[in-house]
Chains A and B, each alone.
Chain A
Amino acid sequence: MPAEPFAPRHVFVEEEVADLPLTKRVLSRLPGVRPVVLAEGEGPPQLMEVEAHNALVLARQRGRFVKRCPGTRGYLCCGYLNLNVAMGCDMACEYCILQGYLSRPMITLFVNTDDLWRELDELLQQTRRVVRIGSGELADSLVCDHLTDLNGELVRYFADQKQALLELKTKSDRIESLLGIDHGRRTVLSWSLNSEAMRTAHEARTAPLMRRLEAARLAQGAGYRLGFHFDPLIWYEGWQQDYQDVVDQLFSLVRPENIVWISLGALRYPAQMDRLIRTRYPRSALPLGELVPGEDGKWRYFRPLREEMFRWLYQRIKRYAPQVAVYLCMESDQVWRRSFGWSPKDSAGLARLLDQRVLMP
């Protein structure tokens, strides 16, 4: 994690959201920054990349805040809902697909929260199905929390929901503001985990593993349910010992009964990301892995490598936590069977498996 929380040096505000309460709150917390108002239809200016990483755009979410995870062709998807309250990240992980998805590297925060609450009301009142929803898809869930306090509001909103679970996913350790909130155990605080060697090599601006796990321990103490995502697993010389250390450290601080789910996912990215990683991080070893095109065109480790990693980690996790739901993110039925010895068969089966975890107290 950057030593300091995200502190933008440039703030651009769309004119139509300039008077919204969240805009005012964010700006009041950035007293040294003079915001630039963008007229209707005007985008933020092109900034040199290093400056763009220090820029924040306050904008209207013109699409839907809630979107179904698009999944990927040929692989099982859990039917998760993405809550797109922000877009972009300042952690600069080498493998991050946001580099390829987003046309500009600045963080965009969607401040029209009236629309957000209305959408959530509609979603939760109209549907009878279980809802698993999280804001960690297009941004780290906590990246702007010190500017917005939005997560606190979301946690309180979900506290009364019986059929829904909010997941806040992060690679940071800044959860203090969430600890005293009445969450009703309807929020999962989740951490992406990797070995410390891989964090140092490829996620240099994220919180060290032990700080993430310490934060998880604090969250557990505050009664939150927890999630962990070993994603992306990276194949390298000595991965077994390093990932064993992560598992050992995890279960030395966290009790299995507080874990809602643990996902495993191996390094994968769209084909065009290969060039991007090589250009931005010429010394990165990530593209040197034995990655081949998958059924969906994304590059993934050659299947036996993935299966070996999944099988190995599944067994280690299950030794500590036989009851915890461990699942694969975006893998085929075949890989599930070869890695775990069983499979939810299809996306609906996987969704049911995780929905059951939501309904648990």
Chain B
Amino acid sequence: MDFQEQIDRRLAKVSLAEIDLHDPYYQISYGAVPSTLIDSLRTAGVINPPTLQRKQDGRWRIVAGFRRCAFCQEQGAKKITAWCVENVAPELSLFIWAVCDNLGVRQLNTVECAIVLAKLHGQFRIPKGDLARRYMPLLGLGSSTELVERYLRLAALEEPMREWLAEEWLSQEAAFQLVEMAPDEARALFAVIAALRLGKNYQRELIRLAYDVARREALSIRELVASPELRAAMQEQELSPAHKAERVLGWLRERRFPRLALARRRYAELVRQLSLPANIRLSPPPYFEGAEWYCQLQFASQEELRQMAERLQKIAQCAELQQLLLLP
């Protein structure tokens, strides 16, 4: 049977009081209502009628058009024109109808995709393999069962992480990692992300560092986040969120790579003892891997270069330089 023929519907004016606005059975929309939708509704009213299904108690369940119905109610309307489904239409078909109704006008955000897949799997018993083959492409996602698994787990993400993900303030990767953690650990880390307003790269780094440090030191992430050093960095009144983020991440990097941090501190100390002028810069090989050091010179004249050469000659004799080159 043709998809549309399965759904016998008629256009009718329905009292808003008869519509159960809080029945989430078919609901997939999540996140802030786009301003373009509000503008459109304010300008021209409901052009595309919502779809409703008669429930056993006689009230109407929204299949598609939650935001439209809510808008009309907020505006004080008594009735709304809607597509009404009277028959016992296959619920899965109605759900797909709802998904396609949305996909026809906009892209679903990550949380909405997760909701769709979770409902298909949990509510409509669609196996994961079918989700990957048939429904992931419909949502514009790669058809892999691994990805399906990840999205199904994302559907369990708590607020306000969910909202951050829908708004794309939280990266998908960070969300996937947070949802894998124990809820209290995820909440503790998310609190840092939110307080420092971390960008996506920093989110990834924070989660990885915190996870690794906690495992290396047999701590819980909650205990790590509660460390006095981290709390102090976050509560520093004088610092901007960006500076706080640098301080927090720097502290975590040192805990994660203690010997590298020690070598870098020793390097900084020896360079300080060398008293290099500002226009001569020494750098070790990256991560002290390899034997070649870098020396950067900045000069504006032949005379300046000559003076630097003299200075370099003196530096080359220094015991500190010898120690520096033996690092780490």
Q: Are A334 and B215 in contact, with the CB atoms below 8 A? A: no
Main secondary structure of the interface of B (DSSP, over half): helix
Q: State the CA gap A256–B216 with chains docked (Å).
A: 38
Residues in A neighbouring B288, C-beta threshold 8 A:
302-303
CB distance from A271 to the nearest CB of B (A): 13
Min distance, Cβ B265 to any Cβ of chain A, angstroms: 14
B144 to chain A, nearest CB (A): 11
Instruction: Name A254-295 residues within 8 Å CB distance of B.
Output: 285, 287-288, 290, 292-295
CB of A60 closer than 8 Å to a CB of B = no
Q: Mark A120-137, 1 if CB is under 8 A from B, else 0.
A: 000000000000000000
Tell me, rounded to whole Å, the shortest Cβ–Cβ distance linking B54 to chain A.
Answer: 43
B287 to chain A, nearest CB (A): 4
The answer to whether B258 touches A304 (Cβ under 8 A) is no
Nearest Cβ on chain A to B150's Cβ, whole angstroms:
11
Given that A285-B215, A292-B260 are known contacts, is A302 also in contact with B290, CB under 8 Å in the complex?
A: no
Residue of B nearest to A292 (CB): B287
A305 within 8 A of B: yes
**Of the candidates A288, A295, A304, which one forms a contact with B259 in the assembled complex, judged by CB atoms under 8 Å apart?**
A304
With A302-B257, A302-B260, A303-B328 as contacts: A288 and B216 at CB distance below 8 Å: yes
Do the beta carbons of A287 and B212 come within 8 Å of each other?
yes
* Nearest-Cβ distance from residue B293 to partner chain A, whole angstroms: 12
Please, how many angstroms separate the alpha-carbon atoms of A74 and B263 in the complex? 22
The answer to the question of B289 belonging to the interface, with a C-beta cut-off of 8 Å to chain A, is yes
A292 to B260 Cα, complex, angstroms: 9
- B212 near A294: Cβ-Cβ < 8 Å: no
A304 to B286, CA, bound (A): 14
Once A290-B257, A305-B259 are accepted as A-B contacts, the answer to whether A332 and B328 lie under 8 Å apart by CB is: no
B291 within 8 A of A: yes
CA of A74 to CA of B286, assembled, Å = 13
Instruction: List, in ascending order, chain A residues with CB within 8 A of B258's CB.
Output: 290
A285 to B214, CA, bound (A): 12
Kindly name the residue among A285, A287, A302, A333 whose own CB sees the greatest number of chain B CB atoms within 10 A.
A302
Q: For B328, what are the chain A residues with a Cβ–Cβ distance below 8 Å?
A: 302-304
Contacts of A74 in B (CB 8 A): 290
Bound state CA distance, A265 and B28, in angstroms? 53
Instruction: Tell which of A287, A288, A294, A304 touches B263, judged by Cβ atoms closer than 8 Å.
Output: A304
CA A287 – CA B286 in complex, angstroms? 20
Q: A293-B286, A302-B287 are in contact. List 16 more A-B contacts (CB 8 A).
A: A287-B212, A290-B258, A290-B259, A293-B287, A294-B287, A294-B289, A295-B285, A295-B289, A302-B257, A302-B260, A302-B328, A303-B288, A303-B289, A304-B259, A332-B291, A333-B291
Q: What are 20 inter-chain pairs, A to B, with CB distance below 8 A?
A: A287-B212, A288-B212, A288-B216, A290-B257, A290-B258, A292-B260, A292-B287, A293-B286, A293-B289, A295-B285, A302-B257, A302-B259, A302-B260, A302-B287, A302-B288, A303-B289, A303-B328, A304-B259, A305-B259, A334-B291
Residues of B participating in the A interface, judged by any CB pair closer than 8 Å: 212, 215-216, 257-260, 263, 285-291, 328
